[in-house]
Structure 1
Amino acid sequence: MGEFDYIIVGGGSAGCVLANRLSADPKTRVLLLEAGGRDDYIWIRVPVGYLYCIGNPRTDWCMSTEAEQGLSGRSLKYPRGRVLGGSSSINGMIYMRGQAADYDGWRQSGNAGWGWDDVLPYFKRAEDHYEGPGEFHGGGGEIRVEKQRLRWEILESFRDACEQQGIPHSRDFNTGDNEGAGFFQVTQRSGWRWSASDAFLKPVRSRANLKVETGALVDRVIIEQGRAVGVAYTLGGEKREARTGGEVILAAGAIGSPAILERSGIGDAARLADLGIAPAADSPEVGANLQDHLQLRCAWRVSGVATLNARAANIFGKALIGMEYALRRTGPMAMAPSQLGVFTRSNPRYTTANLEYHVQPLSLAAFGGALDPFPAFTASVCNLRPESRGTSRITSADAAIAPSIRPNYLSAAEDRRVAADAIRITRAIVAQPALARYHPEEVRPGIAFQTEEELQNAAGEIGTTIFHPVGTAAMGTVVDQELRVIGVRGLRVIDASVMPAITSGNTNAPTMMIAEKGAEMVLKARRHSAPSF
């Protein structure tokens, strides 16, 4: 195809949206480069298949954090999608926009055009909501959003216990105020996962002006005279270059995009020089401002109620689960990792919900491990707006070497206070009458943890990532409000890394919204730069 109008690096949630929108004009030549492979693995499509995709090098970068002081020196697995569809092909499928106040905060911090009223039309434009179009939802878009296809008595009882605790029922978390308890809506279609690749890329793969390369590991952006003119990448062991007369767009995610920027000489100039990388733009905030949601997996043993621990405890139970999915596309195999959501405040001084629960009819010691050999449920709770900030930065100019990821969980005193309060609130919910008939017994962290210091220590022992890294190429420091990299022409970052502050909920839907809005910005710039005759 020769020189391209746009080169998109990363075929994940943002990249698939960008490829769709930017290639809509048949005169526009678009190249999409994805380091992973095709998304034809059966466990990508089956919702419960995230268990076989996370930690699998076929679909996951299989990264890890450095040892975290706030987590008792533990290093955490840090899943990132390495396949078409990116993390939307391996994630929990929860469709969650966050709160209106999140985006109004972006706007108030100097990012004009990113308030709630500004971004809501982009959420709606791409959405195909099961209830159809309305004030807050879209119909006929690419992203299919449905109710979950399952029922668990223990989850309904937990929701009732929340109401007894003063947390109201919520039937829709995506109206700008997500406070309440209810069931998550998911990116599924008729019991199958509906990834960004399913939604945006597959329907347009046949476009003659769109070229998709998988297995393409991007080394760096080629910068000449202060302008991005292409990318250097490796495909099948062969070094290649692709050139553009338009723009290079990084959509490799909150870990991948800052790494490519740094290898291109955009970052802390002195540190990059120590790695043998010639500086192109001194931008010390590249790779900084890393934010993530740390979840505390609190678990209770119960009796007299069905849980997945018991249903999947033997071959017969597993066979029934398999048959239910095969015949009806319902049941545990259609489950998102978390089914019931709860949003509440850890302290009345917060004006909006700052805690999110992911409640599950199961328990296990660690993600991906074996289920506990007794009936139980888990109420994972995370601080939605952590003050702790971390970094993701390269340690080598070699693209094959993973960056050093340091989230710095619980490094802020307020985060430790919120964590202790979150455990107390969880215990208060479980103590309500709606759950009493199941005789809940606390398994994790355990009733031995009672004082403020003990609860903060417990949070460090049981805390783990919920896979929401953002902010490492933030608007206002690394990119401007049009998502253009400051200091380099013809280069943008359009993915979760541009969030100046993390959203109050799961981050996949906001990432696709950013790509939707970003694509419009790119096309608008092209129209304004086109000569008129």
Structure 2
Amino acid sequence: MTTFDTIIVGGGSAGSVLANRLSADPSRRVLLCEAGADLPNDRLPAAILDSYPGTAYLNPAYLWPELRVTTVAPAPGSSEPRKLRKYEQARILGGGSSINGQFFNRGAPSDYDDWQARGVAGWSWEDVLPYFRKVERDLDFDGPLHGSSGRIPVRRIHREAWPGHATAIAAALAESGYDYLPDQNGEFRDGYFPIAISNVDEKRVSASMAYLDDKTRARPNLTIWTGVEVASLVFDGRRCVGVRLDAPGLPPEVRANEVVLSAGALQSPAILMRSGVGPAAHLREHGIGVVAALEGVGRHLMEHPSIALASFIRRGARINAATRRHIMTGWRYSSRIGGAPAGDMFVSIVTKTSWHAVGERIGTMLMYVNKPFSNAGEVRLASSDWRAAPEVDFNMLADERDLERLMDGFRRMAAVQALASVRAVTDDPFPASYSEKVRQVAMLSPRNKLVTDVLAALLDGPAPLRRVLMRKVIAGGATLAELLADEAALRAFVRGACVGVWHPSCSCRMGAADDPLAVTDHAARVRGVDGLRVVDASIFPHIPSGNLNFPVMMAAEKVADMMIGQPRFAAAQTA
């Protein structure tokens, strides 16, 4: 029987960090299992390294196949069937950090103080800040809020290098009374700013690139198996003692003193449920014996609901030669709707919406609810067969206040779009949605390139022709003017166009001992069993007000210290 001290299931952002930190002890034998392909640093594909991520995050080779979800909760009284849509989740070493937009923000200090208030001791802002600092090597800023020697380089593309589209929207925001904040991770207030990214020398730096470098891979006590999906966990009574695999050339069962699930907020709860840990009635429906009845497994799933306002970008205001990045500018504001906290809304200024020629001519303001109230999402099993994708209902907008904030935000974006600085570089604004048609055209193919090359040339032609094409081919649906004039139409648009931004979280959340729906404790240990932890975005008590990659890596660093038995990492220390 093959045995290890620790088995890590999932080689994404959390798994890469854990594999590095735990294997630093030469006496600890560590196995990292990843369902997707390996990414050795000396053979990284150009699309993975690219500052522009659009050719990586829609590549089917890097994604979980057959994963489809429902997004928005049904409207009150509605009997319409819910539509399934494809949902892209990374299936590759490094996980989302290998294909995502490279945003590297932390959320707000209040996010983590809220975690502590929800009963998760040791996860306040003061507790987590040392681990944020431990992860990063900030190339622009120093001081008590920033790390200087972490494994992930963090930089910004400052406004001097922004293209005309981003510069014009920034001018409109300044005209609207917003301050310029050079450091979004250092000033937690409303304003516009250069977005922090995990990138150096115009190249992505993922968790696997940084934490699973050649020196780490050479450790004799670290084993990395890629292309290996874990079918289920192995239990001896109520103790997890290993994993079951189904991979040619590998043993069907591997044992360990402790197993850590780091498979993400959709796959980690599915693995738990297939293994007998989860809602008892649901497990019995699928003929699965109950090891531990934990009603919260798969519950409380959260996402950041989003909508967009797009426009044609005139010549000269498009992406310039200074960078391959397409999103350089962010806008954070406080809606003050329904008791929402400060900084509850976020807008990315997107100067290129896809890899193809049409995408280079369309810009968007992509808005999401930075701090949603809706927390009614759920992950369930479609089958006890590990090959079947889980059923996922995000139930976004289940709380009416999230819908109200997006409607209010759409009007705010329209007001910015109407200012002279933006009108000077854009034309034909329209309400945008990430429809199935848009997704299909965004897939990499020779046919899509040919079609979009022809359409882009026509868009750059006479203005009357462009307006017809924008209305009939690009936009469709209600116009911007129609939505602004009709409350019911705007509400219908938001409900129909709202999608997530690939930030699933909170489905195995940490909580206090008396919380009946908490799945994990403050040390990420699964309740009711021994020898098992979950370390990924699923353990978050509530979704942070920002992209999840940096908080996930912070959490992995923090739990790694708990597993190693070190005292709390001192703020003054470095990685």
Q: TM-score, normalised by structure 1?
A: 0.88
Matched, 1:493 2:534: yes
**Offset from partner CA, 1:25-65 (integer Å, 9 cap, x none):** 11111010001111245144332563333343321114221
CA change 1:251–1:44 in 2 (3 A) is: farther
Where structure 2 has 5 or more consecutive residues not aligned to the other structure, the ranges are: 433-479, 512-517, 569-575
Contact 2:301 2:379 in 1 (8 A): yes
**In structure 1, the residue corresponding to 2:396 is in which secondary structure?**
coil
CA change 1:277–1:523 in 2 (3 A) is: same
Q: CA deviation at 1:272?
A: 0.6
Q: 1:269 aligns with which of 277, 280, 296?
A: 280
**Offset from partner CA, 1:3-27 (integer Å, 9 cap, x none):** 2111100000000000000011111
Partner of 2:396: 409
Matches within 5 A, 1:154-233: 154-175=165-186, 177-202=188-213, 203-233=215-245
Contact 1:306 1:375 in 2 (8 A): no
Where structure 1 has 5 or more consecutive residues not aligned to the other structure, the ranges are: 312-323, 325-329, 528-533
**Offset from partner CA, 1:61-113 (integer Å, 9 cap, x none):** 14221375559844332111111101100100010100011000000111111
AA aligned opposite 2:68: S
Q: TM-score, normalised by structure 2?
A: 0.82
AA aligned opposite 2:173: C
Q: 2:133 aligns with which of 108, 111, 124?
A: 124
Matches within 5 A, 1:59-458: 59-62=62-65, 63-66=67-70, 68=72, 73-131=82-140, 133-148=142-157, 150-175=161-186, 177-202=188-213, 203-236=215-248, 240-245=252-257, 247-303=258-314, 305-308=316-319, 330-332=322-324, 335=325, 337-347=326-336, 350-363=340-353, 372=358, 375-388=361-374, 389-438=376-425, 440-444=427-431, 446-450=480-484, 451-458=486-493
Contact 2:524 2:559 in 1 (8 A): yes
Partner of 1:474: 509
> Within 2, Cα distance between the matches of 1:439 and 1:95?
28
CA change 1:359–1:132 in 2 (3 A) is: closer
> Within 2, Cα distance between the matches of 1:70 and 1:341?
31
CA change 1:121–1:386 in 2 (3 A) is: same
CA change 1:108–1:258 in 2 (3 A) is: same
Contact 2:350 2:365 in 1 (8 A): yes
CA change 1:239–1:457 in 2 (3 A) is: farther
**In structure 2, the residue corresponding to 1:22 is in which secondary structure?**
helix
> Within 1, Cα distance between the matches of 2:410 and 2:46?
34
**In structure 1, the residue corresponding to 2:492 is in which secondary structure?**
helix
Q: CA deviation at 1:414?
A: 0.9
> Within 1, Cα distance between the matches of 2:395 and 2:71?
9
> Within 2, Cα distance between the matches of 1:130 and 1:339?
16
Residue range with higher mean Cα deviation, 192-201 or 345-354? 345-354
Partner of 2:7: 7
> Within 1, Cα distance between the matches of 2:554 and 2:251?
33
> Within 1, Cα distance between the matches of 2:307 and 2:327?
14
**In structure 1, the residue corresponding to 2:524 is in which secondary structure?**
coil
Q: CA deviation at 1:482?
A: 1.1
> Within 1, Cα distance between the matches of 2:357 and 2:299?
36
> What is the aligned-residue RMSD (CA, Å)?
2.4
**In structure 1, the residue corresponding to 2:61 is in which secondary structure?**
coil
> Within 2, Cα distance between the matches of 1:207 and 1:21?
12
> Within 1, Cα distance between the matches of 2:271 and 2:393?
17
**Offset from partner CA, 1:222-279 (integer Å, 9 cap, x none):** 111211111111123866111112x111100101110111011000111111111110
Q: CA deviation at 1:382?
A: 0.5
> Within 2, Cα distance between the matches of 1:158 and 1:97?
24
> Within 1, Cα distance between the matches of 2:564 and 2:250?
32
Q: CA deviation at 1:384?
A: 1.2
**Offset from partner CA, 1:147-196 (integer Å, 9 cap, x none):** 23853122022112112212211111112615310111111121111000
AA aligned opposite 1:31: L
CA change 1:443–1:237 in 2 (3 A) is: farther
AA aligned opposite 2:212: L
**Offset from partner CA, 1:442-485 (integer Å, 9 cap, x none):** 21252211233222211123222211010000011000111110
Contact 2:23 2:221 in 1 (8 A): yes
AA aligned opposite 1:64: R
**In structure 2, the residue corresponding to 1:473 is in which secondary structure?**
coil
> Within 1, Cα distance between the matches of 2:360 and 2:48?
29
Contact 1:53 1:60 in 2 (8 A): no
> Within 1, Cα distance between the matches of 2:71 and 2:350?
28
> Within 2, Cα distance between the matches of 1:212 and 1:46?
21
AA aligned opposite 1:508: N
Q: CA deviation at 1:132?
A: 5.7
AA aligned opposite 2:323: G
Residue range with higher mean Cα deviation, 70-79 or 392-401? 70-79
> Within 1, Cα distance between the matches of 2:410 and 2:61?
36
Contact 1:165 1:432 in 2 (8 A): no
Contact 2:9 2:262 in 1 (8 A): yes
**In structure 1, the residue corresponding to 2:127 is in which secondary structure?**
helix
**In structure 1, the residue corresponding to 2:543 is in which secondary structure?**
coil
AA aligned opposite 1:480: D
Matched, 1:523 2:512: no
Contact 2:237 2:291 in 1 (8 A): no
Contact 1:43 1:53 in 2 (8 A): no
